[in-house]
Amino acid sequence: MTIFLLSISMIVFASFFYLKGQLSVWILIPFNAFWMGILHELEHDLIHWMYFRKNKIIQDIMLFSVWILRPLTINPWLRRELHFHHHKYSGTLHDVEERGVTNGEKWSLKRLFGTPDLIFGGIMRAKILVKDIRNEVRNGNLSKEQALRFKKIKTISMVPFGLIAIQFGIYI
């Protein structure tokens, strides 16, 4: 909880001084990226139920707070299912969590532009990912039910904050 509160405090602190014109954007971006990186790792640990396992309200508040600070990331409650699937099937064609962030692809200009932006990267890779998932179902490596579940998760995972942020041109 201390790490969580410290990280959020640092982000708010730096952003406040930036908005007052007392902090350069060149300092703000790496500073906030550092603290958001810590929050990302904390989110990962929360997805694994490592903290506040017996206090779901605190855990949900923490997951929600991390998500709202990084609105173009996948809903953490939906990500939990993708993440556990990733641990079970890492490196396969249906490891949609890793493939969603371009891991496993050869480095190219396409990957360079697709890595930092989940929306753009997802659009660029959607056709090949759908094809690979269909092949995995056809080959018996993935159940049809799980493939449909991935489709539902992909459809709703960015709602509501991702869609709101996109509407207003906010990219974090």
pLDDT of res. 78: 86
Query: Model-level pTM?
Result: 0.81
> Of 20, 61, 28, 29, nearest to 43 (Cα)?
61
Cis status of the peptide bond prior to 160, with omega within 30 of 0: yes
Instruction: Compute CA distances 142 → 22, 85, 94, 104, 129, whole Å.
Output: 53, 11, 7, 19, 13
- Determine the longest span between alpha carbons in the chain, in angstroms: 59
Q: Are 121 and 101 in contact (CB under 8 A)?
A: yes
pLDDT of res. 172: 43
Domain segments of the chain as ranges: 2-69, 76-167
Mean pLDDT of the chain: 86
- pLDDT tens string 15-56: 999 999 999 999 999 999 999 999 999 999 999 999 999 999
Which regions in the chain score pLDDT beneath 70? 119, 158-172
pLDDT of res. 158: 66
Task: Name the helix (H) or strand (E) containing 168.
Answer: none
d(CA 137, CA 132): 9
At 34, phi and psi to the nearest 5?
-60, -50
